[in-house]
Structure 1
């Protein structure tokens, strides 16, 4: 059992979401940085998609009411367990009564707290992720509040060294000078003016405060325009879709995106780079780079290979630890 000591409207329970439910009009949802959540679960010998806490409001404090192994991954945050400072991307075992504090990130935007076995919340439509818009999933369908107590799934104990363990730089974060994301052309790509298509890739777009789990609004000095007026019915969209409303400033759909929308689509962020965008801080520049379908497929395959290598690295490290 863990107790939430600080509440906000943004910290939620997430797993890998409900991609299968999009056909029913339900947002995919799930962790914005799936690699960070999956790595936290790897460190604890959990299923990759076990439910954890996505943290975007800091400082975040929890108290452990039982001895429990946990990991903190994702953004590079100062983390302390009572007076013990923990490295980034680290797993360790807490004693009953100890308090974990995760402070504002030095780099990145989202941290993840995973616990051995995963959080024990009801499965809704095949997942435990919180859908704030629909008010279901997670803990009572809402963000975590002060005083909430979360149970953990029953799991066999694992042995961790007293000082904990982890792999350095397991989950790369975007550099301070900007996030570069690779995109593929989307349905209305060719209807934008040649100047706009060039601007889309050469401009430094700034992430605005209007950035949440549904979408990231970007702004730049120039606007994106169509070659002709276009009237569209609402049509299917998904996380990564880059829409351009009449104001000419792009919006990137994120994990809680609606499943349909009527704005023209200029591009789609490839899945491996969507997590980098999720770790971009407000005010930071974002750069788009168009790639081919073959390059996108290769990037997805490389992402899968990196995850397999990370899994093998964790297994090897755990086998080498001296307890």
Structure 2
């Protein structure tokens, strides 16, 4: 099965859940910005959660489906059409050959994820199919996809084959979709007035009391100088250290909140560097990284303080929900 790229839109790259175990060599993890949406899209087409997907940023991408294909799109609240027919998000769809998929407009959020049965078949580089643009490795030839590219799907799983066989019995024009969906995982509601839960970081106590308070009380705006590497934030009050101190470069994680000398925080994200030398004032809870990844330059949000124990409980709850969804889909087509 294959897809021809007619237009790539602002940016479209092949991503999976990331390239790990190589940070000690300076290789960034990368991967999908919204791993929750990427995993759900994969589950909806019968894939394992870590198969390669197409990450579409904002809007404008257009794809031609060359063969009948099982696919799903999850993530941003985006208007997507299949040869002019509205294509529902957060549910699987059997799409006929010759159908044009158009990511038309993004109402809220920033990134959508297209999964196909079998995942996108690109070479694994250091254990991952993710694209890291700065180093030009992984994904489709180490770059974003562009017009004329042919994207191939891998071998569909037995579950994917059962799903396609079930829907092939039904009449459909361009698209056949079931009545059920997985919108429980959508982040649209959280984006209305986003609260990003975070824990005080390693260097939190080194900041002025007023800056500690400002971190969790003021509204931050995402600056234009933001990308997959990190989001730069602007607030009414800059965050300042209580006294100067020399910081050694140490490992950083997805969601680490660093504060450079100008007092404007940077939230490190998927394509972050492997180490950082700025004071770490906070760490975004893993469960809220998908919400944060759907914010875009100009959006505003606030941090909400939680403890590490609360973050762990929220993470376990979200993983339980993922396991339930995966099991429910498998049982439905057993």
TM-score range, shorter chain: over 0.9
* Pair 176,38 (structure 1): closer, same or farther in 2 beyond 3 Å: closer
278, 286, 298: which one pairs with 1:283? 298
* Alignment partner of 1:164 out of 150, 155, 177: 177
Question: Quick one: distance in 2 between partners of 1:86 and 1:136?
Answer: 32
Question: 1:318: how far off?
Answer: 4.8
Deviates more, 1:267-276 or 1:86-95: 86-95
- SS of the residue corresponding to residue 257 of structure 1 reads coil
Q: CA deviation at 1:261?
A: 1.5
Is the Cα contact below 8 Å between 1:39 and 1:73 reproduced in 2?
Answer: yes
The verdict on how the C-alpha distance between 1:209 and 1:139 changes in structure 2, with shifts beyond 3 A counting, is same
TM-superposition CA deviations, 1:134-158 (whole Å, max 9, x none): 1100000011111110111022533
Aligned position for 2:148: 147
Paired position in structure 2 for 1:87: 88
- TM-score normalised per structure 2: 0.91
Q: Which runs of 5+ in 1 are unaligned?
A: none
**Counterparts of 1:314 and 1:284, CA distance in 2:** 35
Q: What does residue 100 of structure 2 align with?
A: 99
Contact map agreement 1:107 1:173 (CA 8 A) in 2: no
Aligned pair count reads 319
Question: Do structure 1's residue 46 and structure 2's residue 61 form an aligned pair?
Answer: no
Contact kept in structure 2, 1:9 and 1:143, CA below 8 Å:
no
Partner of 2:36: 35
Q: Which residue of 2 aligns with 1:109?
A: 110
Question: Contact 2:41 / 2:114 at 8 angstroms: preserved in 1?
Answer: yes
The unaligned stretches of length 5 or more in structure 2 are none
Deviation at 1:282, TM superposition (A): 2.4
Task: Report the Cα offset of residue 182 of structure 1.
Answer: 1.3
Name the structure 1 match of 2:278.
Answer: 263
Q: TM-score, normalised by structure 1?
A: 0.94
Give yes or no for the alignment of 1:238 onto 2:243. no
Q: What's the CA shift for 1:47?
A: 0.9
Residues 315 and 107 of structure 1: CA distance in aligned 2, closer, same or farther (over 3 Å): farther
Task: Give the superposition deviation at 1:187.
Answer: 1.6
Does 167-176 or 288-297 show the bigger shift? Answer: 167-176
RMSD: 1.6
Deviation at 1:59, TM superposition (A): 1.6
**Counterpart of 1:31 in 2: which secondary structure?**
coil
2:10–2:59: 8 Å Cα contact kept in structure 1? Answer: no
